[in-house]
Structure 1
């Protein structure tokens, strides 16, 4: 009897299945953009045919870390900046599970920045959503890696002197094969982008702009926004790294000048995911490793049986 026999069990799915019974109402502050992420996920998962039993949500620390408490899927709440290593291990152990990792801008672009970069480089087949509110929210308003220059906070009372990180460009350089930016104020676009990210075979990164009305009152609410796919002012090839980089540079510079550009910035459907590469060279079995824990007849292998001895 498999513990994962719900995977690929086709049936009609209601979005309310993703609302937990124990804590159905999130406790984020009124007006928080995190509500937009949760809503978009609840709408997107049924549309791609995923049940709660087929999804694992891995979160870091911060307001975004509460996501898997409010989303009824398998969940793992990691320590600060470490959602991606856990998510990668889970996906390698059971490729049939849809893995969604989430964290804030401090979590993913700060303390967890190294994991973000290398998970993209290796092209692990998962979705990574970064709640980008340009501040550390849960710890009460410190400067984050995406805080604009000049922004005053508890840790930078005279104004931030550092240039904010450029997450879209960073992920393109690192090797992510699906890169998009959306905002909580654009729920329809957010749902569609999350759907595409989940269906993408490879590492999909979403920079999700989430306003923080409590600790980042100086920040814009990311409105009005411009959908670059619907605007006649922006025409570029999503599959071209050069054109994608130019478009990302425009978007990252415009954000701090009051113009919010959202949409898909880069899509590579040709690169092979890390999991598939491992299977192709014989270092990863086709069947889920996780299944072996529930197979009483399985004869366990040890690493020294699988690897050639070094000479």
Structure 2
């Protein structure tokens, strides 16, 4: 049991506990795929044995940033592209907390792309859900990093001249130890993948296809979808990095041709998390830093104290 009395408590959990007592009126458009993320997350956390008091959701800016408003847990609404460094700090300070970071494709793969790459490289132990609708939605329909080449928008009226970011391949190359893709139109798969990501020890990245019926009508509903883990036409080993990379490339190319391939693409359960590696080399204490706030006898020190003597 942690000094945070809610962490480690074993009891039955109802997903309705994740709905705020006074539920705010959603500002997502009717038919928005973001509702699918919210529903899947509410279903996954109780099955993973996590209560609202054990959970922190960290969001960026954009339509996805409203997740905190409709989800009953601890929450931190960051600035654009900065959800991941806040999530990393929270998890390192209090490893018993279940941290869920969320952001849009513009937020995560564009403005926060550097944080995405290095969080995956360091294998921080939390789940990152990217609401990928291939558009900047909240700012009214500009081209995003995942918009297909030729896509016309307010910022690219003659069509985008750039190839889109390939988020699955980028995640694997950067070092994520769990990589998956699902879609809002596949709620059962989405719930199961989020549950697996939560239970995974290391950085778990889910590229969540969320249709935007208002600003990105080209992407439609991301249907029909195919589960690559269940379909006999797609045989690969998600624990084999080379096979996973090949399957990811196929899925990313197929998406822009109208074929939606979803599922768990890669998982490495053997790799230690960032926190574990830091503890192994003696650069991080075994005792969670957050516990010190509850220790009246703890003698606080400042990091600056380690350098003061060298500069006298």
TM superposition score category, shorter chain reference: over 0.9
Deviation at 1:296, TM superposition (A): 1.9
Contact 1:241 1:266 in 2 (8 A): yes
CA RMSD of aligned residues (A): 1.7
Distance 1:101 1:136 in 2: 18
Equivalent position of 1:256 in the other structure: 256
Q: Which residue of 2 aligns with 1:221?
A: 221
Matching of residues 237-256 of structure 1 within 5 Å: 237-256=237-256
Secondary structure of the structure 1 residue equivalent to 2:23? coil
> In the TM superposition, what is the alpha-carbon distance from 1:130 to its structure 2 partner?
0.2
Give a deviation string over 1:149-191, Cα, whole Å, max 9, x none: 1111000011111100000000000000000000000000000
**Partner residue, 2:183:** 183
Partner residue of 1:49? 49
Structure 1: 5+ residue runs without aligned partners? none
Aligned to 2:116: 116
| Residue number in structure 2 paired with 1:149 | 149
- After TM superposition, give the deviation of residue 293 of structure 1 in Å: 1.7
Quote the Cα distance in structure 1 between the aligned partners of 2:192 and 2:287: 30
Measured in 2, the distance between the counterparts of 1:233 and 1:211 equals 26
Change (3 A) 1:198 1:2: closer
Change (3 A) 1:180 1:299: same
2: CA distance, partners of 1:145 / 1:310: 46
Aligned to 1:80: 80
Spell out, residue by residue over 1:214-240, the C-alpha distance to the aligned partner (whole angstroms, 9 max, x if none): 011121210000000110111111111
**Residue equivalent to 1:167:** 167
C-alpha displacement of 1:105: 0.2
Deviates more, 1:127-136 or 1:230-239: 230-239
Give the equivalent residue in structure 1 for 2:29. 29
Query: TM-score under structure 2 normalisation?
Result: 0.96
The offset of 1:282, in angstroms, is 1.7
CA-CA distance at 1:4 after TM superposition: 1.4
The correspondence of residues 173-212 of structure 1 with structure 2, limited to 5 A, is: 173-212=173-212
List runs of 5+ in structure 2 lacking aligned partners.
none
Partner of 1:103: 103
| Residues in 2 aligned to 1:142 and 1:294: alpha-carbon distance in whole angstroms | 47
> Residue 279 of structure 1 corresponds to which residue in structure 2?
279
Distance in structure 1 (CA, Å) of the matches to 2:310 and 2:297: 31
- Check 1:128–1:310 CA distance in 2 against 1; reply closer, same or farther (3 A cut): farther
1:40-92: CA deviation from partner (whole Å, max 9, x where unpaired)? 00000000110001000000000000001111010000000000000000001
Residues 15-48 of structure 1, C-alpha deviation per residue, up to 9 Å, x if partnerless?
Answer: 0000012334422100000000000000000001
Provide the rounded CA distance (Å) in 2 between the counterparts of 1:41 and 1:8.
20
Q: TM-score, normalised by structure 1?
A: 0.97
* Residue range with higher mean Cα deviation, 103-112 or 275-284: 275-284
